[in-house]
Structure 1
Amino acid sequence: MSREPVIESIFDLSTITGKTVSGDGKLLSYVLGQGYKEFKKPQENKIILKNIDSGSEESISESGHQLSLPKFSMDDKHLSYISGTDDSWNLHIRNLMEKAEMELKCPGAPIDYRWGKDNEIIMLTSPITKDKIEKAEDGHFFEETDEKNRIFKLRLTEGFSEIKDTPHIWEFDYKSGKIYAVSSDSPREGSWFENYIAEISMNGLWRKIYRPSNGQVALPSLSNDSSRLSFVESIWSDRGVTTGDLMFLETTSGKVTNISKDAEKSYSGPRWDENGNLLAICQEKEYFMIERFSSGNSEILWKKRGSVGPGMAPDFVYTSGKIFIEFSDQSNPSEIFVVNIGERNDKQITTHNEKMKEIKAYEWKSVSWKSVDGLEINGFLRNPGKNMPSLVIVHGGPTGSVKETFMDRYSYLLPEGYSIFMPNFRGSTGRGRKFAGLNFGDMGGMDLHDVITGVQFLIKEGYSDRNKIAITGGSYGGFMTQWAITQTDIFRSAISLFGISDWISFHGTTNIPEWDEIQYDQKALEFDKFLKFSPLRYVKNIKTPLLIMHGESDPCVPVSQSFQFYRALKENGKDVRLLLFPREGHGFTEKEHILQSMKETRNFLEKTMK
């Protein structure tokens, strides 16, 4: 008999990341961990080495250390991985035949690395902050002391040598002595929004080979013969949340082709097969697919409703006609599946979350409605019923989307009698680049109408009690929550997580000041849209009780955004509370903080939705 999800259930869910497969398709490795950390405890995890044919597994762990980035050498003789703490990182290289292991200290915090055909390794690292020695005269000039990521070449007999004088590198691919990297002129986080593709030689000579006219690039992947580079391009709101148009560049001529132009799908994780065909994950509304592009044609190799992980930028690994993905849907928690391209079928090959199937699965009903301008908007309604109290969750980004999965941080509310409504408003991914750009220059405009018309649809269809509807969201969803309650009184309760309240002061204090000007298509100090869409200006309109939660160390949406909004509401006699979490950045990661935020959400809803 199934049991209901409770608050603590989310902590029993294992995370599966960092998939890699040997070239012969016999071995699979990945990182098995947890979706949280604990105060003053190292965030330990383990690497799994799995024999695909026999199903046998070996677990690799190291007490007090985080493990990451398992990779097989190109000759399949070695498995490498990273272990470390916040201030020291090591590269482990295990000889799979002789069972011997080499350990090398990394020259920074590893971001990623690639094996070469001669068993050399190219490694990208970020500065280790504790390398900066504190001194009595430790004043520093703002934005003038940021350090670039550094890239190194490792020969096992010679050690690491730095490839100097490169641009700042965010991510890269490497083959045949050339590095192709997503780069920018500055190491500042906001500089990523002005990125480009750079070709870098081993002696450090480099050149820009492609810069998008409108948007950003991500996920570079070289073909086996290095003649073509695939990547993804779109307008994005967050580094690492990257699905969009599928592009490829001819490395000799520099010619760039958008091979998914005008498709109403969002692409991610491009990979090349041994025949020079391009494979990619794509999302089309509630469905995920694997698509193959060959000689100007494309075909769908696999299609399923659910969610392919990781959630922000879905990907897969490929070898010898087989694709390995992490997949979840409303009835099944995340596991790794192998897709056999020739037979067009899939098979689950891990069982790390099998015990989670004891928890009752709730329906994700796909719904659609027309917004005020006639545009069709889609979303999900969990636990649909008649005239139920409903919680509207506005996703972050805005260039993200809600995807069907087995469990999230709101699942515990379902057995308590709530339905949960999650709209994928204009500006969301999953419907192509054009749809993702529909709120360009208009954040808080028509996308808010998409949400409100969705609520009106639920009321009209009898799903929701019009007097018991709450709204919540984090980051851009936090902004939309605060913005919504200044524009309508349809919501009985509101819970905002690390949201923007004043676009002008946000621009001056965030670590991504390029993004808001790009997304609003306006300079901040022209004031027009930055004032027009600032919830702070409209606090007198608010009738809805509001709970605000924010991490005190958030560099993206500084906590001052919540201080301002809280103070303005208090001084205008509004019903507001502010819950602060120390040590948290943009999102809550510590177990006790996650637990408290979930409990306070439930308590606030019980109090305000009576």
Structure 2
Amino acid sequence: MPGLFRFPLYLDFVLPTMDMEPWGWNGCACTPATDTETMEELMTRPKQSLRSITAQNLYALQLLTDVRLSPDGRHVVYGVQRVDKKTQKKYANLWIAPTDGSGERQFTQGDQTDASPRWSPDGRSLAFLSSRKEGESAQVYVINADGGEARRLTDLKGDISSLTWSPDGRNLLLEFTQKDQEVIDREADEQKKKLGVVSRHYTRLFYRGDGQGWLGHERTHLWAINVARGRAKQLTSGSVCDEYNASWSPDGRSIVFCSNRREDPDLEPDLIDLYVMPAAGGAMKLIKAPRGPKGTPVFSPDGSRICYVGARDPNEWWQNVELWVVPTDGKGDARSVTRPYDISLTCSTLNDVGGGIEMPPVWSADGNVLYFQISEHGSTKLMGIAVDEGTLYTVIDTPGSVGTFTVDDRQRMMAYFLGTMTDPGQIWVRDMDTGDARQLTHLNRVLLSQIDLGKVEEVWFKARDGHDLQGWIMTPPGFDPKKKYPSILEIHGGPQDQYGNLFMHEFYFLAAGGYVVYFSNPRGGTGYGEEHEKAIWGGWGTVDFDDLMDWTDLVEKKSYIDRRRMGVTGGSYGGYMTNWIIGHTHRFAAAATQRSVSNLISMWGTSDLNWVFQLPHGGKSPQESIDVLWDRSPVKYLGNATTPTMVLHNEMDFRCAIEQGQQVFTALKVNRVPSEFVVFPEEPHGLSRVGRTDRRIDRLNSIRRWMDTYLKPVSTKPAKGAETCKASK
């Protein structure tokens, strides 16, 4: 798993083709709305004749995939993905919009996936990845920026994960993982292809990847593609190490990249180093820097320095991700320029309909300032810091999530993704001199203008020990504070993530069913400093449980909450906490645990990241600390559970293997607790965000049906296979 230097249960699904679907798709090219009315203005419209959001609206949402500003600052290229409802296949095309707001146009056509658009340095061409044949890996294409036919540059057998233009525009740098020769041979032989894999043999520790399946034996290496001739040249090689997060020096003569070159990187995954090598390939030079995780290195404009992101120490996931600068010539020490500030360079605000992408830091043209994202207090902000003076300032702090951001050559204009609580995401442009910003796209304007999402209230409160915590209460459409409502506590995954100011379709869907939905950021997550994140290191189910119960206490006291009809749900680490909760309290009348962790002993070795999950729980294997892992395992306490619980898990979840959910379901059934097991075939850990759309819809409907069964005043028919005993209060 190249490039990972933190291993939360839920890794950001930063894919070139997220689950992004246009409203009203019926097989014709979608046309984004261009009205200038903002989403916030739409949300304040009179509520008469508006309808509630539905699960089926997942087919209707338009969502951005990427945002890239042209070198002259006059155009933005971006992607919009659609779903063919009949086949459930997803297609994506590129669009171009002038930054003067004069209207966008669809740039590529057809039933394929076009992704990762990149402007050439002169702005005359665009390179992008596209899978234009059924079953074929995405290849590199180049097209004139004025339009025309795209020219295919590559015929590579494998996965291209990144592409970057050289400063002179003559070459493209790729991060590429070849298919194993055995796979290539099998696919070339129709009989062998029909029979499929006979067996798999592994000697490495990380042999599966969630969302990737069973890994091949080839590693990720750097390749250069000559744009004029399409000639491919492999720059790095090796059977043990990967190279990734590569970028060019300003003069195009060198490439900097990350690599873990230990004897067995899977045993020391955080020991990542920076290397510089000639652009044509050759000897690698190690850049001296502290031991520990590193990522996204970028040369300064004059090439004298390299910035990168990383933590202070290996295997300490709770530490802030800091911004570092190191001399390129090795004649000085690396230093963290953000160390004096308790901030972390992450893009960890969660949602379920595509979101922000974590970007490399960006140097100012004079090399004096670095721009970067941080996640803080429920938002992902864009910050700047004076590299030598250390002065930190905020560039964009709109409540929401700043994703992809790019600047023009003169750094007079910035284009960026911004998603908010009421808007899945739009492109904004900003004048870097004046700070003036305006919205460039208006995706989903028509759809959301027809929907009453309800209202959301932000709440700051004190935990029992005085720690400051943040949460949000979402009330349903047509809310009447004089009435009593059932409620659902949502718990985020990670745990190194945060909920906050970003559109969550699931929350609005549950609220549309007549529920008050409330969510918060208990200790253990990002966005509130190192001590907040460190609080559960070695102790899941301790102060995080207390924080969630304190939050529930606060909401329960609201006059409109029916304390007898409270539900709880969460996925991944949120599923762990849901399992923990039903084993430690009977206050909830219904629960839905999703893609959860239940047994830390069996989690060790069955997850795609197998042994590293010992790190947050004392750092020792089950052979050394089985009692510690068992004490922190929710399944140990499920004998106490009485809460009717739906267990949802994905068949191809390699992060939290399905056996984790099976143990929960079995324990509940044996103890005669009303329960139902829902299994989604073929789906990875991230079903709720990137899964097949009909399965995402079934997941949402299943959860709400379960909650309706046990939380509505007049129960609906119990779920198939669920006992009808009365829920505990």
Give yes or no for TM over 0.5. yes
Q: Distance in 2 between matches of 1:217 and 1:242?
A: 13
1:317 aligns with 2:406: yes
Contact kept, 8 Å, 1:335 with 1:353, in 2: the verdict is no
Q: 2:220 matched to which residue of 1?
A: 149
Q: Distance in 1 between matches of 2:146 and 2:686?
A: 43
Give the secondary structure class of the aligned counterpart of 1:477: helix
Q: 1:8 matched to which residue of 2?
A: 56
Alignment of 1:371-450 (within 5 A): 371-383=463-475, 385=481, 387-450=484-547
Determine which of 47, 52, 69 is the counterpart of 2:116.
69
Q: 2:594 matched to which residue of 1?
A: 497
Indicate how the Cα distance of structure 1 residues 404 and 552 shifts in structure 2: closer, same or farther if over 3 A, else same: same
Q: 1:485 matched to which residue of 2?
A: 582
* Alpha-carbon shift at residue 569 of structure 1 (Å): 1.9
Q: 1:540 is matched by which residue type in structure 2? A: G
* Alpha-carbon shift at residue 479 of structure 1 (Å): 1.1
Q: Distance in 2 between matches of 1:155 and 1:54?
A: 35
Determine which of 87, 95, 112 is the counterpart of 2:144.
95
Give the secondary structure class of the aligned counterpart of 2:686: coil
Q: 1:23 is matched by which residue type in structure 2? A: P
* Alpha-carbon shift at residue 150 of structure 1 (Å): 2.3
Contact kept, 8 Å, 1:237 with 1:515, in 2: the verdict is no
Q: 1:111 matched to which residue of 2?
A: 161
Normalising to structure 1: TM-score of the pair? 0.91
Q: 2:682 matched to which residue of 1?
A: 583
Indicate how the Cα distance of structure 1 residues 354 and 448 shifts in structure 2: closer, same or farther if over 3 A, else same: same
Give the secondary structure class of the aligned counterpart of 1:453: helix
* Alpha-carbon shift at residue 212 of structure 1 (Å): 5.8
Alignment of 1:104-183 (within 5 A): 104-107=153-156, 108-119=158-169, 120-128=171-179, 131=184, 133=186, 138-144=198-204, 146-156=217-227, 157=229, 159-165=231-237, 167-175=241-249, 176-183=252-259
Alignment of 1:220-231 (within 5 A): 220-231=297-308
Q: Distance in 2 between matches of 1:424 and 1:212?
A: 31
Q: Which has the higher strand share?
A: 1
Q: Distance in 1 between matches of 2:288 and 2:486?
A: 50
Ranked by relative contact order (alpha carbons within 8 Å, sequence separation 6 or more), the top structure is 2
Q: Distance in 2 between matches of 1:597 and 1:109?
A: 30
Q: Distance in 2 between matches of 1:572 and 1:542?
A: 8
In structure 2, the gaps of 5 or more residues are: 1-47, 205-215, 347-358, 713-729
* Alpha-carbon shift at residue 598 of structure 1 (Å): 0.8
Give the secondary structure class of the aligned counterpart of 2:51: coil
Q: 2:385 matched to which residue of 1?
A: 293
Deviations 1:461-487 (A, max 9, x none): 445332222111111111111111112
Give the secondary structure class of the aligned counterpart of 1:168: coil
Contact kept, 8 Å, 1:218 with 1:242, in 2: the verdict is no
* Alpha-carbon shift at residue 128 of structure 1 (Å): 4.4
Indicate how the Cα distance of structure 1 residues 98 and 516 shifts in structure 2: closer, same or farther if over 3 A, else same: closer
The percent identity for this pair of structures is 21
Contact kept, 8 Å, 1:180 with 1:197, in 2: the verdict is no
Q: Distance in 2 between matches of 1:218 and 1:514?
A: 22
Indicate how the Cα distance of structure 1 residues 546 and 478 shifts in structure 2: closer, same or farther if over 3 A, else same: same
Q: 1:606 is matched by which residue type in structure 2? A: D
CA RMSD, Structure 1 to Structure 2 (Å): 3.0
Determine which of 79, 93, 108 is the counterpart of 2:126.
79
Contact kept, 8 Å, 1:183 with 1:192, in 2: the verdict is no
Contact kept, 8 Å, 2:308 with 2:323, in 1: the verdict is yes
Contact kept, 8 Å, 2:67 with 2:76, in 1: the verdict is yes
Indicate how the Cα distance of structure 1 residues 408 and 158 shifts in structure 2: closer, same or farther if over 3 A, else same: closer
Q: Distance in 2 between matches of 1:37 and 1:197?
A: 43
Q: Distance in 2 between matches of 1:241 and 1:17?
A: 29
* Alpha-carbon shift at residue 393 of structure 1 (Å): 0.9
Q: 1:28 is matched by which residue type in structure 2? A: V
Q: 1:149 is matched by which residue type in structure 2? A: T
* Alpha-carbon shift at residue 170 of structure 1 (Å): 4.1
* Alpha-carbon shift at residue 502 of structure 1 (Å): 0.7
Task: Compare 489-498 and 377-386 and name the one that shifted more.
Answer: 377-386
1:545 aligns with 2:623: no
Contact kept, 8 Å, 1:195 with 1:211, in 2: the verdict is no
Q: Distance in 1 between matches of 2:327 and 2:382?
A: 23
Deviations 1:535-560 (A, max 9, x none): 12112110111101111111111111
Aligned residues: 602
Q: 1:607 matched to which residue of 2?
A: 709
Q: 2:632 is matched by which residue type in structure 1? A: F
Q: 1:598 matched to which residue of 2?
A: 700
1:256 aligns with 2:304: no
Q: Distance in 2 between matches of 1:283 and 1:149?
A: 29
Q: 1:33 is matched by which residue type in structure 2? A: Q
* Alpha-carbon shift at residue 235 of structure 1 (Å): 9.4
In structure 1, the gaps of 5 or more residues are: 309-313
Q: Distance in 1 between matches of 2:520 and 2:233?
A: 49
Deviations 1:60-113 (A, max 9, x none): 335342111100111222111110155332211123368564212242321111
Determine which of 357, 364, 378 is the counterpart of 2:456.
364
* Alpha-carbon shift at residue 407 of structure 1 (Å): 4.3
Contact kept, 8 Å, 1:273 with 1:318, in 2: the verdict is no
* Alpha-carbon shift at residue 489 of structure 1 (Å): 1.6
Deviations 1:216-262 (A, max 9, x none): 33333332233333333349999x99983333333223622222225
1:246 aligns with 2:323: yes
Q: Distance in 2 between matches of 1:159 and 1:37?
A: 35
1:47 aligns with 2:123: no
Deviations 1:483-520 (A, max 9, x none): 11112222211101110111111112111124312222
* Alpha-carbon shift at residue 377 of structure 1 (Å): 1.4
Task: Compare 566-575 and 473-482 and name the one that shifted more.
Answer: 566-575
Q: Distance in 2 between matches of 1:512 and 1:30?
A: 33
Give the secondary structure class of the aligned counterpart of 2:642: coil
Indicate how the Cα distance of structure 1 residues 163 and 40 shifts in structure 2: closer, same or farther if over 3 A, else same: farther
Indicate how the Cα distance of structure 1 residues 301 and 192 shifts in structure 2: closer, same or farther if over 3 A, else same: farther
Contact kept, 8 Å, 1:244 with 1:429, in 2: the verdict is no
Contact kept, 8 Å, 1:189 with 1:511, in 2: the verdict is no
* Alpha-carbon shift at residue 26 of structure 1 (Å): 1.1
Normalising to structure 2: TM-score of the pair? 0.77
